[in-house]
Structure 1
Amino acid sequence: MKQIYCLALFALLFSCKENKETNSENLNKSAQKDTLSVKEINTTASKENFESDLRPSEKLKLGQPYSDTVEFVEFDNNGDFPLFSVQKNKKLVGLVSNSEDAPKFKRGDVLELKWKMDTLYVAGESEELNFSEWMISAKKVKDGNVSLFLKKYKKPIKYSSAKEDYTDGFKDYLYTQVEYYLANSKQELVKTAIKNPDADLSYSIEEKDKEGHIFYVLGISNDFEHHTNIIQWIYIDSNNNQLYEYDLPNDKLVEFN
């Protein structure tokens, strides 16, 4: 019995020693990997200058803060990491955001943006070293057309849809598209409607197959004395989210930017 006990104890001690050595080996490998990663970053940073559409004619340094005046487009928190998208000189740039709760801006607001070039590893992909623009902070310096529109039209814009399985996030996205269109449209019916303090704006949501793929079709209305009057149809391409204005007399879609 003592022999069996001694053998079991010896096996246990040997196993603990083996596990300890394995764990130590794994930690050493991990530390070596981190060291190599830091070395790789430093080597890349010392050899390369980085480029961005925020400063297309300038060679950028890794980790150095920059400040630029930009136009806000959107904040998207549905991907692998929060993405803060802005526009400068008609170029769209998506910056990685450290925060899942970015400052609330409206599309078209002019911002003073602080940012930097930094490392980026995308989940699920190989551990190849990548670099991207990262947002540091953003401050609004001027209201865009949407913000100006919402200061005058303070009522919520109602909507209706026969389809009930749209997510809240997607419905919020469509709502921001309607706000953007109303604030920037050059159509006389739309301009007249939003100037009227008694306007009661709403929109319907449907889907339509056109030109070989699906569009989300929004019928914007001005409701008056229980009558609904469609003032404009807009289409959103489900493939690339491009917004179109529907030209009724010519039965065609006109890209809306």
Structure 2
Amino acid sequence: MRVIILFLLFTICFSCTPTETKNQSTDDPEKEIVQKIVTNKDTIKQDTIEFISYNDDFDYSQLNGKKGKEEITFVNDQNNDRSFLRGDLIAIEWKSDSIYIAGDGETPENAQWIVSAKRIKDGNVSKFRKEYGKELKYLLSKEDELSESYRDHLYQLAEYYVANSKKDLIKLTIKNKEDLGYSIEKRNWENKDYYVLGFYTESEHKINTFQWLYIDPENDKIYEYDLPNDRLIYFP
């Protein structure tokens, strides 16, 4: 009986002894994650995107682009090339790195940084500038005071519209290199404020306004005004 009791005690003690399993690794998993982040941070990637715009209104300058239907934003502080126009196809090199937002406790956030960028194909705006060879005119009412930077911004949107428009009058005006201009004013449409561009041609000192564009200042979306049906049509 004494032998049986001793055997049972030995068996119980042995089962209580912790054993090492596959899940118990001597490596530090947090260290592995940190190493992986550092590796990804230093990796330079290549891509081709359609250029949309620059934006210098934040702590870091931005380059906005599009790949397919997806819009992508990159930090552009390390790239000095400002010659891209909307619609240009550009080849970029980029990497993941940290940014520090002022007023947010300097907490680091991950972001995509442009390392280099190069135009590889002209978009419609670049082609339009080469073909037309002159600037659009614009008229601004004294009541609507706009900063020079925002006037330039509206000009770029107007230029994008002209370069991509299917309107016969616009295409003929560009082909003949005749003067083309637009007026700028503010209007409210269904309880929402827009900047409205009225495109016109001149003939014998008379202005012929033939198309109104509504610009949403919150997202820069462009809408053509459809006069017969009194509605706005999104212009992509």
TM interval, shorter chain, is: 0.7 to 0.9
Of residues 208, 211, 214, the one that matches 1:232 is 211
C-alpha spacing 1:251/1:165, structure 2 compared with 1 (3 Å):
same
Of residues 173, 178, 182, the one that matches 2:153 is 173
Q: Mind listing any 5+ residue stretches in structure 2 that lack a counterpart?
A: 1-30
1:255 maps to 2:229: no
- Output the CA distance in 1 between the equivalents of 2:33 and 2:188: 48
Tell me the TM-score normalised to structure 1 length.
0.74
- Output the CA distance in 1 between the equivalents of 2:145 and 2:73: 29
- Output the CA distance in 2 between the equivalents of 1:147 and 1:102: 15
For residues 18-65 of structure 1, the C-alpha deviation after alignment (integer angstroms, 9 at most, x for no partner) is xxxxxxxxxxxxxxxxxxxxxxxx87553569xxxxxxxxxx922211
Partner letter of residue 46 of structure 1?
Answer: Q
Of residues 146, 158, 163, the one that matches 2:125 is 146
Partner letter of residue 212 of structure 2?
Answer: W
Partner letter of residue 121 of structure 2?
Answer: K
Give the number of the structure whose residues are more often helix, by fraction.
1
C-alpha spacing 1:84/1:73, structure 2 compared with 1 (3 Å):
same
Deviation of 1:82 (Å): 0.5
- Output the CA distance in 2 between the equivalents of 1:99 and 1:172: 24
1:106 maps to 2:85: yes
4+ residue segments displaced more than 4 Å: 42-45
Deviation of 1:240 (Å): 1.9
C-alpha spacing 1:113/1:65, structure 2 compared with 1 (3 Å):
same
Q: Mind listing any 5+ residue stretches in structure 1 that lack a counterpart?
A: 1-41, 50-59
Instruction: Give the SS at the match of 1:178.
Output: helix
Q: Which has the larger radius of gyration?
A: 2
CA RMSD of aligned residues (A): 2.2
- Output the CA distance in 1 between the equivalents of 2:134 and 2:197: 19
- Output the CA distance in 2 between the equivalents of 1:160 and 1:143: 29
Counterpart contact for 1:77–1:100, Cα < 8 Å = no
Deviation of 1:251 (Å): 1.0
1:91 maps to 2:70: yes
User: Which residue of structure 1 lines up, in the alignment, with residue 172 of structure 2?
Assistant: 192
Counterpart contact for 1:200–1:224, Cα < 8 Å = no
Counterpart contact for 1:106–1:144, Cα < 8 Å = yes
For residues 79-132 of structure 1, the C-alpha deviation after alignment (integer angstroms, 9 at most, x for no partner) is 221111111112111111124854311100110111111111111113333101
Partner letter of residue 125 of structure 2?
Answer: V
Q: Percent identity?
A: 40
- Output the CA distance in 2 between the equivalents of 1:169 and 1:100: 21
C-alpha spacing 1:149/1:139, structure 2 compared with 1 (3 Å):
same
User: Which residue of structure 2 lines up, in the alignment, with residue 66 of structure 1?
Assistant: 45
- Output the CA distance in 2 between the equivalents of 1:183 and 1:171: 18
- Output the CA distance in 2 between the equivalents of 1:43 and 1:137: 30
Instruction: Give the SS at the match of 1:61.
Output: helix
